[in-house]
Amino acid sequence: MQALPNTASVQTELKLLTKIQKYRPPHNFIVGHSTYEKSHMNDEKPMRYRVDQDGLPSKFPTHGHEAAFWESLGRAVATFGFLEEILGKAIFALTATRAYEEDEIEQAYVEWLPKLERALIDPLGNLIDVYGKAVKDNPDVVIENLDELLGDLRQASKMRNILCHGSWRLPNASGVSMPLFVNRQKHVVDTAMDRQFIDQVQQHAVNLICAVINTVTQMGWQFPGTVGSGKKIWEPTAQHSTAADG
């Protein structure tokens, strides 16, 4: 991470990325609280500008990268979306299969539905925290490196934010590009990335997905939403009627 760049350099990059043309508003064109008449400072009419959108390159602002770069980035982002889904399902499985004391059941049931609802809407960072607690609270989970897994998930979450929200600078001759991204601590990414690096990030996310699934299946349960081995956690109470049933 490094300090924020000065605004002058950012403005210079913006000028290079856009084309503008002179634009004269029609008579009495209203801008804010003033009209397009005479300036308060002199008799000259102000010059206004707008983007020459017809002059922009095709696929702007993604025109500078090869299509393969955007494919790799898109697949990585989609994989992180799938990781969020898997964490939500794991939270359901771990909390649904946990044993409770008799005097804990009623309160656990009251808290269960809101917990599952949050798993649908929480960002990745919160999902990781809830998942970690669910693993620790379930005594049947067999895992030796939970802290390491949670640490890897949190690091991956930081990379996910960069890939999803970064504004990518034009690549160099080797196809390496710097994402402009500032986190909540006002740190700026200082690592340039190419397609091969993003592919590695995507594969690492796949490894994390499998590790999360394993925490459920190693207890002997079928992971929700799959047709893999294990006992089903939940069976629908209402079966759909078939044509043969009339």
Across the range 23-46, mean pLDDT stands at: 50
Q: Compute the distance between CA of residue 14 and CA of residue 177 in angstroms, rounded to an integer.
A: 16
Number of domains in the chain: 1
- Whether 108 maps to a domain, the answer reads yes
- Whether 164 maps to a domain, the answer reads yes
- Whether 151 maps to a domain, the answer reads yes
Q: Compute the distance between CA of residue 15 and CA of residue 185 in angstroms, rounded to an integer.
A: 28
DSSP 3-state of 4: coil
- Whether 154 maps to a domain, the answer reads yes
How far, CA to CA in Å, does 239 sit from each of 58, 88, 95, 223? Answer: 52, 25, 25, 21
Contact yes or no for 195/209 (Cβ under 8 A) = no
Domain range enclosing 145: 68-217
Within 13 Å, how many C-alpha atoms sit on residue 197's CB side? 12
One-letter amino acid identity for 156?
Answer: A
Cis ω for the linkage preceding 61 (within 30 of 0): yes
- Whether 28 maps to a domain, the answer reads no
- Whether 7 maps to a domain, the answer reads no
Question: pLDDT digits over 149-203, tens only?
Answer: 999 999 999 999 999 999 999 999 999 999 999 988 888 998 899 999 999 999 9
Across the range 35-60, mean pLDDT stands at: 76
CA nearest 80: which of 225, 220, 230, 212?
A: 212
pLDDT at 105: 64
CA nearest 217: which of 194, 202, 205, 233?
A: 233
Q: What are phi and psi of 20, to 5 degrees?
A: -125, 160
- Whether 19 maps to a domain, the answer reads no
pLDDT exceeds 80 at position 83: yes
Q: Kindly report whether the global pTM for this prediction surpasses the value 0.75.
A: no
Question: pLDDT digits over 201-212, tens only?
Answer: 999 999 999 999
- Whether 236 maps to a domain, the answer reads no
pLDDT at 48: 87
pLDDT at 164: 94
Strand partners, 49: 22
CA-only gyration radius of the chain, Å? 27
